[in-house]
């Protein structure tokens, strides 16, 4: 059995994806191709480039260029037939699905067998499904089930046998971007260690108990201030970890726009008035179930101060200082 592996990676752009692929390559493995539904074909915007500098994790775009990895944009894979010839010419021995909502058809999983694996940002069997980190935060369970799992792909949703896990609990008061960075580091560690051992045959995957854990799909309005929420709901929402983009959703919309990014300051104006929401340059007034409130709009001019790179750089500097103090 070879000690180095050649992977087809089905991926969407994220810090976790970048860290995992970088660790995979640094372990001496190669990537046959990156398949993605990303409309920009994994290109990096200014924010991602700055985050890359702050985190020392190269962007996917940098990795593609450095290692000359082919990038293929494809439509949903779930209904693709084996007769399509989709895998023809892809000389990969491992299939990795990474931070993607793509559903892999059964015939493709069978083609790779035990070497078809998925990376899921939660501690399975808990929080199966899309966007588990948001679901964990919404339920207040990020300290309990936050982490990363590598598991075998099967025809269920996140139900395959578990290869390895790292627990990464969200820390009270810590920026959510820092939590994402810590999850990315844990994903890289799994790529270097447990996944390598499993592919070499030195580690066996452990089957999940049927029916264990839970499936959770976080809805759009769970992180939005909207008319059906109470004042208690809104205050809980505004106390979510820093770094999360919170929005006010209004009805009726203004033109084509029905939501606005907001700050975490709230003022109670009165009992519900029955009036439509009022949006000004700096604030939003709206009815919720038990009162009328005023929220401050988040302006683009101030967005630089919420760049995730700032929080990640500060966290890394603090870690470095702790290391010096311990030494």
Catalytic positions, written as ranges: 120
How far is Cα of residue 198 from the mean position of the Cα atoms in its chain? 24
| Separation CA 277–CA 293 (nearest Å) | 10
CB 7 within 8 A of CB 24: yes
- Collapsed DSSP state (helix, strand, coil) of residue 116: strand
CA–CA dist 309, 268 (Å, integer)? 34
* Alpha-carbon dihedral sign for residues 85, 90, 92, 93: positive
For 192, the 3-state DSSP assignment is helix
- Is the CB of residue 183 less than 8 Å from the CB of residue 121? yes
CB 80 within 8 A of CB 105: yes
User: Any idea which residue has 């929402």 for tokens?
Assistant: 237
């Amino acid at each position: 059995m070879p000690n180095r592996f050649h992977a087809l990676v089905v991926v969407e752009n994220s810090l976790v994806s970048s860290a995992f692929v970088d660790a995979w390559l640094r372990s001496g493995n190669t990537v046959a191709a990156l398949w993605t539904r990303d409309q920009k074909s994994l290109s990096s915007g200014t924010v991602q480039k700055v985050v890359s500098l702050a985190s020392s994790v190269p962007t996917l775009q940098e990795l593609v260029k450095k290692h000359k990895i082919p990038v293929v944009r494809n439509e949903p894979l779930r209904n693709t037939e084996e007769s399509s010839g989709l895998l023809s010419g892809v000389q990969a021995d491992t299939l990795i699905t990474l931070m993607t909502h793509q559903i892999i058809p059964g015939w493709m999983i069978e083609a790779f067998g035990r070497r078809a694996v998925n990376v899921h940002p939660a501690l399975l069997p808990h929080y199966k499904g899309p966007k588990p980190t948001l679901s964990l935060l919404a339920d207040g369970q990020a300290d309990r089930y936050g982490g990363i799992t590598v598991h075998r792909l099967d025809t269920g949703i996140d139900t395959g046998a578990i290869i390895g896990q790292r627990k990464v609990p969200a820390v009270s008061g810590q920026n959510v971007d820092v939590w994402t960075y810590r999850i990315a580091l844990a994903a890289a560690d799994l790529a270097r260690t447990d996944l390598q051992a499993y592919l070499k045959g030195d580690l066996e995957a452990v089957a999940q108990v049927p029916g264990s854990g839970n499936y959770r799909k976080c809805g759009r309005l769970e992180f939005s201030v909207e008319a059906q929420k109470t004042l208690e709901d809104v205050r809980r929402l505004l106390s979510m970890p820093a770094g999360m983009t919170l929005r006010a959703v209004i009805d009726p919309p203004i033109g084509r726009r029905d939501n606005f990014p907001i700050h975490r300051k709230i003022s109670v104006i009165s009992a519900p008035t029955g009036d439509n929401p009022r949006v000004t340059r700096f604030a939003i007034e709206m009815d919720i179930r038990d009162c009328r409130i005023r929220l401050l709009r988040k302006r683009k001019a101030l967005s630089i101060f919420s760049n995730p790179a700032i929080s990640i750089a500060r966290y890394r500097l603090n870690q470095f200082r702790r290391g010096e103090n311990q030494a």
